[in-house]
Amino acid sequence: MLYSRLLLAVGLLVATRAKAADPIRVASPNGAIEVTVHLDAQGRPSYAVRYGRADILRPSRLGLVLASADLTQRLKLVRADRVTAVADQYQLATDKRASCTYRANRRVLHFAGPAGGPQLDIEFQVSNDGVALRYVVTGKSPDAQRITAEKTTFSLPAGAKGWLHPHAKAGTGWAKTQPSYEEYYQQGVAAGTASPFGEGWSFPALFQVGGHWLLLTEAGMGRAYCGSHLAHQSPGGEYSVAFAQAPEGTTPTATVLPKGRLPLRSPWRVLVVGSTLAPVVESTLTTDLSAPATTAVQLSAAGRSSWSWVLLGDKNTTYDVQRRFIDYAARMGWEYCLVDALWDTQIGYDKIAELAQYARTKKVGLLVWYNSNGHWNEAPQTPLNKLFDPASRRAEFARLRQMGVTGVKIDFFGGDGQSFMNYYQDLLTDAAQAGLLVNFHGATIPRGWNRTYPNLVSMESVRGFEFLTFDQANTDQEPTHCATLPFTRNAVGPMDFTPMAFSEITGRQRRTSNAFELALSVVFQSGIQHYAETDEGMARQPAYVQEFLRQLPPRWADVRLLDGFPGQYAVLARQAPDGRWFVAGINATDQPKTIQLDLSKLGLKAGALITDGDTNRSFSTKPVAGAGLSLTLPARGGFVVQPQ
């Protein structure tokens, strides 16, 4: 502190000293978004966000409470650094965009807390598509510091509406597997509505604020923090950050709340902002704000996969059926086949090794399922109790790689506590060292880890297709749910919904058309896209449908939202690495929906349209050419356009 004062005295300090009453501002590079920070007379910091002339957030609170200090009040502004430009460019194989460019204006505010205690820096980065803020606790204490509460709030203007995912109570649900982010989004609820389970709302949370849109989430999760969500109560539309619940640790005594040595960094609080929904769907802020890969192993491989379990169940995790599904993947030109739970008892390690070698002769990678659990769930599916202990995990991963297995699907995690944030990253690190891809199920949301750990190909964190097989109520919800996810869950990272079934579900009446299901292969994005349809069901489809699914690229280069509204309909275009655009749309409503498209904006001059036939279980196709395309989708119908 003395050194800083000396620098100020001689005019060498590049930062500026601000009075407590003076607002501090930082704007996006294009000037459309502006953040204003204020410190009141009681030393309480707050911030507000404007987009053009519109208030996106009213003055909202900032600060952290530590076990050793309250860094939410009686703070003094030491200095506000000058605004600096941030520029980053990187490549991703498993997300919505392959080549990502991030440009933002950055400003760091330095606050002094209690004398001799920890100090608080607040970092703001404002890009053309949103705002990010995070905390850095600094000081000289050699002891680990514990954060007991975060006081960040998001105060929405009057009249705001939300598309919100209820956060589950820890240790509830089937076999105590909650929270696993597997609820339905509530549609257009008034801001300030209390959550139904008493535990708040999950990230990502979507709001309509006047004529603008706001998506809240978090990114850049390190090892010294827990996952968070929005609190149960939000009086007057002011949402606050809530930490993981007490049971959400990897052991009964494991760390749940944030704890670490100084400097201790929080994840980024991310606000994606736009006058339309396009920035929400197209933004890459979740990975922009996450750390680049630091390990020497740069393993990543996107693709498509066959999968028997969702329609055929546990009893078909057998050698003969899985060999059949390897052949299915090979016929379709897909890169993977997933063998789900119980393979260790119903097939065995030796025969899995045989399947893996057979798959390689077909140019198909074999993926196998694991139960994550230590103490935290009661799910009986095996293999279990193999991965939590580090020595056991590394030995198991090494064995799999020697067998020729390509990757693992790990299921049934136990929450968002800090110890779980570390467990996820330990799994990714050890899997990368063994040369294995990873897919997390029954898991927390993506927070940009697929940039930091390129072997992370996907995460579930969604009420996926499997729920349609459980009861008719879930099946009835599918259209609305699917039309909500592009604007919410899938907007923040790859999503293993496991879409697309043309076959009937035993004992259920599917509400969506076959063309709706086909469209999900493009509307939804996952690093590895696991298709629900079986080999026999695929064989019954028209040749042009099968060919479309062969032609889909294993990964995407870019995405554009063409039209849509949460819960009602969605039309997206995704670009193949060779530059061609695939277009798909779904109508979730009970009435026909007419959609007008200008394909020339994509440079798409001609293609093949596949949409609903005479019934919702049939297809029709025709060539399309020229700029304009007018489509009337039937209730719960869909379409795709395959470029030529």
570 phi and psi, to 5 degrees? -150, 135
CA 514 to chain centre: 26
Q: Identify the helix (H) or strand (E) that includes residue 314.
A: none
Q: What's the CA gap between 132 and 270, in Å, rounded? A: 5
- Please write down the HEC assignment for all residues of 243-284: ECCCCCCCCCCCCCCCEECCCEECCEEEEEEECCCHHHHHCC
* Strand boundaries in 64-194, DSSP class E: 64-66, 70-71, 76-80, 84-91, 99-112, 119-127, 130-138, 145-150, 153-155, 161-166, 186-190
Cβ count near 241 (within 10 Å): 22
Sequence-distant (≥ 6) Cβ neighbours of residue 212 within 8 angstroms:
51, 54, 56, 273, 274, 275
Active-site choice (34, 123, 466, 563):
466
478 a catalytic residue: no
Q: What is the DSSP secondary structure assignment for residue 489, as one 8-state letter?
A: G
Extract the tokens encoding 119.
Answer: 């100090």
Active-site choice (95, 411, 478, 496):
411
Contact 52, 32 (CB under 8 A): yes
517 a catalytic residue: no
Q: In what order do the strands lie in the sheet with 569-575?
A: 558-565, 569-575, 581-587, 638-643, 606-612, 619-625
Q: What's the CA gap between 392 and 224, in Å, rounded? A: 24
Would you name the residues annotated as active-site residues?
A: 411, 466
